[in-house]
Amino acid sequence: MATDKSKSLPKLILVFMMVDRPIFMRWKMIEALADAAVPYGTTVVAINRPLCPFSTLFNKPDRVRELFGKPRLQQLKNNLYLFSPRYFIHDSVAAGSHMLEQLNITALRKSYVHLCHRIGVREEKPLIWFYHPRQGYATDLFTDSFNIFEIKDNFADLDGNELEPAKAQEESLRNRIDLLLCASKKLFDKYSGGYRKAWLSGNGLDRETYDRLVGNRPQSIPELTSIPGPRIGYTGLISRRLDWDLILEIARRQPEWSFVFVGKVSDPSIRPLTASFSNIHFPGWYDHEQMPAVLSSFNIGFMPYRANNFFRYSNPLKFYEFAAAGLRMVSSNMEELKRFPEELVKIVPNSAGEWIDALQDFLDSDGESARRIGAEVARKFIWEDMTTELLKKLENEV
């Protein structure tokens, strides 16, 4: 690994993911972070949620085998590893007991020693990066580590109710955090005041995905293009995160429009809700490599999230994918998106009439300029560029 001796960062960055890798939405950021860390001679270790011997059997039966033998370690790039350590008991339980949390810390410290031996890197003060206040124990693993806490979503449930235990944990962390990162300006405005230093982290795309989305029109997917147009499209997890009262009312009023939801239906109550609507379609899940073809089958992008204090703070990846593809979109009120051109995204209240007007306005107008505008917008949010800039700034902090 070529190293620029004039640049200085810890030899290890430990990223404690808030969920396991397959469903961690910022994985492309971690890959870009590893690439950006190469000139520093720094290795990035992404840490799966540690396994608890008591809860894994019930919550993650597919990972039970990992409870035996050495903690699982996978090398994904020259300087990127995925590590799956174990601790004594699940951190949601340990958070209420100093003794249990100390047992977890002891187990994780032991795992860290083995990790360093296996990857051939020794670092007494790794850079720590985590995403949920419940993971605050990571700040106690090492003496004088540089601790980054990133807030990606507001601490509220999907109904918008504030999560008081998480808020209390977040407040108790503040004097242990060297740098707060916030994924949206609204999150920054709410949380940054209590920290020594805070920066916006944003959201974005990896360069490969961007290039594929802005490239030439892909070959169509017959299962999607055979759905009658105009096609109003959504991609991602299909769940109660979406405002189904709004969706059903729009679909009822506009029977000539097709509403296409591409992705996994995670809530079994959704299909019965929509069963009587011939213009609501669930074609299933498509591989990420097919995303350009999926998005090219849509006339308008659709982001009908629930209107509450969870989603108002959001900065969705979906926006950057739609933008790169040149797909105009209508969205619920997510304040981060208000700074982008209305020719690309319309932000409207969750009223069926106003959504229909916004969608109709796009359908009645030429969308050719959206390809240029969307590409220009998304180009500013490429993970490889954003992580490179972040590490340059960190040189002066660590």
CA 28/CA 384 separation, integer angstroms: 9
The reported pLDDT for the residue numbered 4 is 58
Same domain, residue pair 252 and 194: no
CA 114/CA 303 separation, integer angstroms: 45
Q: Is residue 4 part of a domain?
A: no
Mean pLDDT confidence for 268-274: 94
The reported pLDDT for the residue numbered 3 is 55
Q: Is residue 7 part of a domain?
A: no
Same domain, residue pair 154 and 297: no
The one-character DSSP state at 219 is P
CA 135/CA 129 separation, integer angstroms: 10
CA 235/CA 132 separation, integer angstroms: 26
Residue numbers of the domain that contains 211: 207-379
The reported pLDDT for the residue numbered 1 is 47
Number of domains in the chain: 2
Same domain, residue pair 261 and 349: yes
| Structure token pair of residue 251 | 């679909």
Q: Which of 56-70, 189-203, 206-220, 321-335 has the lowest mean pLDDT?
A: 56-70
Same domain, residue pair 132 and 76: yes
Same domain, residue pair 186 and 53: yes
Q: What is the pLDDT of residues 318-328, one digit of tens each?
A: 999 999 999 99
Tracing tokens 């806490």 back to the chain, one arrives at 149
Same domain, residue pair 65 and 192: yes
CB within 8 Å of 30: residues ≥ 6 apart: 15, 17, 24, 44, 46, 80
CA 240/CA 268 separation, integer angstroms: 10
The reported pLDDT for the residue numbered 97 is 85
Same domain, residue pair 178 and 258: no
CA 258/CA 299 separation, integer angstroms: 10
Same domain, residue pair 140 and 257: no
Same domain, residue pair 183 and 223: no
Q: Which of 55-69, 136-150, 222-236 has the lowest mean pLDDT?
A: 55-69
Mean pLDDT confidence for 288-295: 93
Same domain, residue pair 174 and 300: no
Same domain, residue pair 117 and 236: no
Closest listed residue to residue 251, CA positions, set 362, 326, 152, 356: 356
The reported pLDDT for the residue numbered 94 is 83
Percent of the chain clearing pLDDT 90 (strictly above): 83
Same domain, residue pair 364 and 273: yes
Q: Do the beta carbons of residue 47 and residue 126 sit within 8 Å? A: no
Provide the CATH number for the domain around residue 48: 3.40.50.2000
* Average pLDDT score, the chain: 93
Q: What is the pLDDT of residues 48-91, one digit of tens each?
A: 988 888 888 788 888 888 888 889 999 999 999 999 998 888 88
SS3 of residue 115 by DSSP? helix
Tracing tokens 């958070």 back to the chain, one arrives at 95
| Confidence at 23, pLDDT banded by 50, 70, 90 | confident
